[in-house]
Chain A
Amino acid sequence: MGANPIEAYVQTKLEQAKETRKAATELAHAVKLLASAPTVRTPVGPARPVETTVASSPAIEAVPSTPKVTAVELAPRAPVQPKKLSIGTGQVF
């Protein structure tokens, strides 16, 4: 998961491009898109909920069940208090 998925995709297509015309076309398309993409990295979003997968035991394997996913809710943030400024709060002119 550490690798950049876009780079991984480009790398895969680069390897396949020697073999298939389709991969070469897709590689050319991806390179064209990447060339016009902004170079500045956008910041990642807030921390995602931690997903815990509970493995089902073999005894109840017969029952088709989806893996249990427990989403840990984001802790409620404490209200932020405004800072008291010595220059007043605003000016109207």
Chain B
Amino acid sequence: MSLQIPRPIDPSLHPLTTGNYRIATPAIQAFYELVVRCLHYRIMGALIYGPSRIGKTRAIEYVRLLLARNYPKMTSYHAQCKHKPRHAEGPFLANLLEAVGDPDPNAGSNPSKRLRLSLRIREAAARAGSGTVLLFCDEAQRYNENEYEWLRDVHDALDRQQIKLFTFLVGQQELLAQKTSLQIAGKTQIVARLMVEELSFYGIRNAEDVATCLNGYDQTAYPEGSEWSFTRFYIHRPSMPGIGWSATPTYSGMHSRPRTTGPTCRADLKFRWNRSREWSRSF
């Protein structure tokens, strides 16, 4: 990165440095489409399952950001299900209260927690101006049957107050097994409410997915609306012969060179940036 070229912001404040950014992937698009489909057809619950470390939690964050932009009147929450040796209603409600921003989630008895949860969600929905609330439950495979029943109670309580709660259970493949076992056990009240639709989440599957992710670095600009794409900010002009860049260097363009491995993370970008700096020095 040439320091002589003026940049719109200090490099230490750039999202790639701070980590405050998310790049779109085909899997996130599938997730978002599922959410929109559920909202459109009033499907109250869906499950999204996939192996660990493929970006499910980041996908929730991306979808929430996009929903806030496209549906500003809708409220969404991200509940992180915690591992608990014993499943009790108090900690379950406290976890949801924490997700909805309650200042003291552990305070009070279970009935008061339940009331407070409904109240917080109702307040947020009223502030946003819509009766639609989305709840993303991450690591939902940790829930057991009791917790699904308590979640159903929350649904029912809000439904009586004209608030539609859409629940998205996100977790590992065990979730699908849980759905099957609940179906076999005849617990249709849970499946029909919380697990109607399902989506198998995936990571990067092929070169096209890699190119799509890298294109995100080329196309996403910061500051927003400026011409400073993430790539341009760090690699201002081509400094290595043979890449065949046009006037604007592209990160995905680098990837399409033969025998170039596919960098997919920020650390790799930094690595390339350092290399680029060395090349700049040598030419």
Binding site for B on A (CB under 8 A): 76-77, 79-83, 85-93
Contact = CB atoms under 8 A, between A and B. Distances in A.
A83 B219 contact: no
Nearest to A77: B258
Interface of B is mostly: helix
Contact of B224 (A79, A85, A92): A92
Contacts of B217: 90
A93 B66 contact: no
B150 interface: no
A85 B59 CA distance: 14
Given A79-B256, A92-B222, A85 B211 contact: no
B24 to A, nearest CB: 5
Interface residues of B, number: 36
B29 A86 contact: yes
Given A87-B32, A90-B219, A93-B61, 12 more contacts: A81-B211, A82-B214, A82-B215, A85-B24, A85-B26, A87-B66, A89-B218, A89-B219, A89-B220, A90-B21, A90-B24, A91-B24
B212 A82 contact: yes
16 contacts: A77-B258, A80-B207, A80-B255, A81-B208, A82-B208, A85-B26, A85-B212, A87-B24, A87-B62, A88-B24, A88-B220, A89-B216, A89-B218, A90-B21, A90-B22, A93-B61
B132 interface: no
Counting chain B CB atoms within 10 Å of each CB, the highest count among A77, A87, A93 belongs to A87
Given A80-B210, A83-B26, A89 B215 contact: yes
Given A93-B20, A93-B21, A83 B220 contact: no
Contacts of A89: 23-24, 215-216, 218-220
Interface of A is mostly: loop
Interface in B231-283: 252, 255-256, 258
A86 B25 CA distance: 10
A12 B209 CA distance: 46
A91 B209 CA distance: 18
B129 interface: no
B15 interface: yes
B28 interface: yes
B7 to A, nearest CB: 15
A91 B59 CA distance: 11
B208 A83 contact: yes
Contact of B29 (A80, A85, A92): A85
A77 B222 CA distance: 32
A87 B33 CA distance: 9
A92 B215 contact: no
B88 interface: no
A9 to B, nearest CB: 32
A80 B256 contact: yes
Contact of B66 (A81, A83, A88, A92): A88
B192 interface: no
Contacts of A86: 29, 33
B253 to A, nearest CB: 8
B65 interface: yes
Nearest to B62: A91
A80 B208 contact: yes
Interface string B1-27: 000000000000001000011111110
